[in-house]
Structure 1
């Protein structure tokens, strides 16, 4: 299991894990940027940090499979 992880990590950093690495970065940014904005805004309005992180993590974590459903591996 550890060898599979290391092999995937090496392929990822060489740019050979996904067919379209730019799509991976774009989809990741589509999920990350709104989540970051939501965390900052909700903490600024006074909600507890633990509650904000829990809620935003659940919502945007649930969004990730939908964002990455069309990724193709090499």
Structure 2
């Protein structure tokens, strides 16, 4: 299992994991942007930093399957 993670990470950083790397990076950036917006909104709403970060992480993590559903791998 650890070898699979290591191999996938290596391919990702070499730019060889996805058939369309630009689309993958765009979707990744969109997920990060959504997490940042949720974090700032939660902080402005009066939530403490740790619960706000947990909420933002949960929402961004839940969106990943939706964002990456049409990506093709090599």
TM, length-normalised to structure 1: 0.82
Q: Larger C-alpha radius of gyration, 1 or 2?
A: 1
> By how many angstroms is 1:50 displaced?
2.2
Q: Give TM-score scaled by structure 2 length.
A: 0.82
Q: What CA deviation, in whole Å up to 9, does each residue of 1:9-61 have, x standing for no partner?
A: 22111111110111111001111112112212321342111221222222221
User: Can you give the 5+ residue segments of structure 2 that lack an aligned partner in the other structure?
Assistant: none
Aligned CA-pair RMSD: 1.6
The residue that corresponds to 1:63 in the other structure is 63
The count of aligned residue pairs is 74
* 2:29 counterpart of 1:35: no
